[in-house]
Amino acid sequence: MLIAVVGATGTGKSGLSLDIAARLADAGRAAEIVNADASQLYRGMDIGTAKLPVTDRRGIRHHLLDMLDVTDEASVADYQRAARTAIDEIRQRGAVPILVGGSGLYVSSVIYDFQFPGTDPVVRARLEAELLEAGPGTLARRLAELDPQAAAAIGPHNGRRIVRALEVIEMTGEPFGSGLPDESAYWTPTTVLGLQVPRAELVERLDERVRMMWSGGLLAEVEALMGQGLERGVTASRAIGYSQAIAQLHGTIGQAEAIEQTQALTRRYARRQVGWFRRYPGTTWFAGGAAEGVAAEGEQVSAAAIDRVLAAADLATIDE
């Protein structure tokens, strides 16, 4: 059995995962947490990713944090292998694995039965050259014609994922969307818990989080990472907040604009996360810290609510 905690950024997933681990400990079962946030894979990217400090992890073992240098390129296929290996090893120790994160494709790649298509270096090189020459717009329009579903999911600005989608389409002759994780079959028995917050409250929470990133030392963190090659990183340098901080440090935008851009991109990303995770069938939804008097779907998180979900998950099958 695998427990997955999902939801948009800022909804309280880390806290819920720790509470679940505590309830399992009360029942005599150890638990370990597996990260499913793509940006938290990177060493040194702490403030801008809201990575939980070691001192706040309540002594619970965490996996797949700080495993990449900022110059490394993140790969969903590589992540899938690493996460599934970690989950298998956790179960071999007799503990319960808890997968936690908001990177939708990363979560889906682990919990659903899915095999990634291979790659064709010649096709990939040609498409990447076209991306450099023409920018993502031309490739995005081509993808929209070939596979509107994939184009909508990826968006018009993520050149790396657009290239990958076009590569798979050219290799297989099938829409890239047909190669996305099938949400009808789990890789292993899984209980999915979701957190959601009313839109207005979430926007306020996210905007404040971004302001706290800057006041909490994001610029100093990014400046140090630039010395480690952050700007050469294909994925790390494009992370929300980090790209804007780099621009501010170069003097191309001011701090107010950097914060505003990061807030807008964070809000947009949260909307995509909500849409992605709402597709997951059988998810038990909790109200992630909704303010008093504010309507939110799902039961408020409590020890009793967590216990009911764990009982329904059938702990007897947790080692399967």
* Chain segment 64-101, per-residue pLDDT in tens: 999 999 999 888 889 999 999 999 999 999 999 999 99
Contacts of 43 (CB under 8 A, 6+ apart): 66, 67, 68, 69, 70
Predicted pLDDT at 113: 86
Tell me the residue type at 155. G
Considering only residues 170 and 320, tell me which one the structure prediction assigns the higher pLDDT. Answer: 170
Lowest mean pLDDT among 33-37, 81-85, 98-102, 290-294: 290-294
* Chain segment 298-309, per-residue pLDDT in tens: 566 777 777 777
Kindly tell me if the per-residue pLDDT of 273 is higher than 50: yes
pTM of the model: 0.82
Summary mean pLDDT of the chain: 89
Is residue 11 within 8 Å of residue 197, measured between CB atoms? yes
Packing angle of the helix pair 136-146, 159-172 (nearest 10 deg): 40
Question: pLDDT-based confidence at 296, cuts 50/70/90?
Answer: very low
